[in-house]
Structure formats: C-alpha cells, structure tokens
C-alpha cells in the first residue's frame, strides 16, 4: 500500500516531514561524476484518485554525509556547476536539509555528485493536488 503524503507542521507552523514512511523508497551510494536515474512511479494512490490520473507525486530527497552535494535534473542530464559566476542551469542542488518537490508520474530524475561516497535517498508519496 502506498502512503499518502500528509503535511506535518511544527510549533511555528512550518511545513515538516511527512508523518509516515514511504512504501516507494530508492537509495544509492554515488560515485564521483557518475549519473544515476530513477523514474517517478505511477499508481501511487492520491486519496481516491490514483496518481496515474492525477500524475502528481511528492518526492523527498536526502543526502548524506552532511556537507555533500548532489545535483538533480528532471527529464534531462544533471550538471555540476563549473566556475565562480552564476550561469543558467537545468539542475538544482540537494543539500543537508531534505528537499521536497512535486513531480509528475513518469518523470525521470537524474542525479550526479562531484564527490564519491555520497548516499542518496529518494522517497515518493502521493500528493494532494488539484
């Protein structure tokens, strides 16, 4: 059974982690500059409407050890920034704090890190969407 994402709030009203663990979990120990991918799953129930109809999936990504950086790109190849000036990019970094994003079922997430020995956890939840 897939778990529906339920927003938990702390005492200050900030959105926190989901209350339940996911039945749709993936992990990898990344090597330096080697890409790995995962496809956002279909068929995660979102209340009474399955994700394959709504196509909305909440994804939580966590990186260890602290200070490590993993770059993620949706439906493309993730890129690690080069140089010290800001440039347009197709990727965003996952840092120490778990990152949550809404993706569509069937999206392919591509991950890469500049350093090896970085552990990545990706969890999928159904999302309450419109």
pLDDT on residue 49: 47
pLDDT on residue 108: 96
How does DSSP classify residue 8? -
pLDDT on residue 74: 96
Q: Which residues contact 65 (CB under 8 A, 6 or more apart)?
A: 117, 118, 119
88 pLDDT more than 80: yes
pLDDT on residue 51: 47
Confidence class for position 83, pLDDT limits 50, 70, 90? confident
Q: pTM for the full model?
A: 0.77
Percentage of the chain lying above the pLDDT 90 cut: 36
Domains of the chain: 24-126 (2.60.120)
Q: Between the CA atoms of 83, 112, 73 and 102, what dihedral angle is there, to the nearest 10 degrees?
A: -120
Q: Which residues contact 120 (CB under 8 A, 6 or more apart)?
A: 27, 28, 29, 30, 36, 61, 62, 63, 70, 94, 111, 113
- With CA atoms as reference, report the closest residue to 94 among 36, 11, 39: 36
Report the C-alpha gap between 110 and 101 in whole angstroms: 14
- pLDDT greater at residue 52 or residue 91: 91
pLDDT digit string, tens, across residues 3-56: 555 555 555 555 555 556 777 889 999 999 999 999 998 866 544 445 445 577
Q: How many residues does the structure list for the chain? A: 130
Percentage of the chain lying above the pLDDT 70 cut: 72
Report the C-alpha gap between 23 and 44 in whole angstroms: 9
């Amino acid at each position: 059974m897939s778990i529906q994402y339920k927003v938990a709030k702390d005492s200050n009203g900030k959105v926190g982690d989901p209350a339940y663990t996911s039945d749709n979990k993936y992990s990898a120990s990344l090597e330096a500059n080697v890409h790995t991918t995962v496809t956002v799953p279909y068929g995660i129930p979102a209340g009474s409407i399955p994700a394959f109809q709504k196509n909305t999936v909440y994804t939580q990504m966590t990186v260890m050890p602290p200070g490590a950086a993993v770059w993620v790109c949706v439906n493309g190849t993730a890129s690690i920034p080069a140089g010290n000036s800001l440039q347009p990019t197709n990727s965003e970094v996952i840092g120490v704090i778990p990152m949550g994003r809404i993706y569509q079922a069937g999206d392919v997430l591509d991950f890469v890190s500049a350093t090896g020995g970085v552990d990545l956890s990706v969890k999928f939840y159904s999302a309450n969407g419109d």
